[in-house]
Every structure is written in C-alpha cells, then in structure tokens.
Amino acid sequence: MMMTWKKIKRILCIVSLVLGLMMLPNGQQIEAADVWVAHWNSEGIDVYVMDDTLSHGTSSTGRWFSISTKMVKNGRLKEVITWNYSKYQTDMWRYQTNTMDRSHDTVVSPGDKVFAYGMNRIGWPYEVREFWVY
C-alpha cells in the first residue's frame, strides 16, 4: 500500500494536534502563592501575603496600594485582613484595614513586613525617618 502526499499531510496534522494537546495543562489551574512575611510572637500568628491581591495606583494627591493577608495560628486560618496603605503628598505612609474603625487610619511603622513586601513588589522607594515611613 502506497501512501499519497495527502495522507502523509493528514497524518502529520493529526500527530501535531496530539502533541499540541499533550503540551496544554491537564486541566490544572495555576494558583497564586501565599507568601510568608512575618510571625507575630505576641499572638502566635504567622502572616501570609496573598500575592495575587496586590493592587496599587497613583493620583494627583498621592499613592496607594492594597493587599490581603491570611492570619494563621497553629496551622489554621484565623482570619483574612485587607490592608489599605496610602500616602498623601509628602506626608508619611498610613494604613487602614477591613477590621479597623473606618473613621481613622494608623501611621505605618518601620517594621511593617506587609508594607515592605507590597512596596518591594510594586518597586516604589520609601524612606524611614526616625519612627516614620515616608
């Protein structure tokens, strides 16, 4: 039995299609990683940043970014906290979380690991002056 050029092309197409399908992910979803950033000894809590929740922006009055964390105690999820950081013009950085009273915000401390992680991921510079972050 002799193969014609048309049959050879058809076989090559089928083989290419099968190989292409084999290279696609097997229905597995790629998930964003939770990144460990701190351990709060006083509360026995490990803090994991949910990397895929990072969002940021700039306006005429300043910069902002938001990121969520998982608070884990003894290997169990205690709560999810969303941190909203903002900087008004030349003022120091401040934050507010979804667990705080919405009528005020708090000044960022130099040791804030969630803040440092977010700023490093975005690539924004910041400066520590005495006890404040600018």
Among the listed residues 117, 119, 115, 99, the one whose alpha carbon sits nearest the alpha carbon of residue 107? 115
- 5: tokens are 């050029």
Q: Is residue 87 within 8 Å of 99, Cβ to Cβ?
A: no
CA distance 58 to 64: 6
Instruction: Classify residue 21 by its DSSP letter.
Output: H
First to last CA, the chain: 80
Instruction: Per-residue pLDDT tens, the chain, 134 aa: give them.
Output: 566 767 666 665 565 555 555 555 554 455 568 999 999 999 999 999 999 999 999 999 899 999 999 999 999 999 999 999 999 999 999 999 999 988 889 999 999 999 999 999 999 999 999 999 99
pTM: 0.74
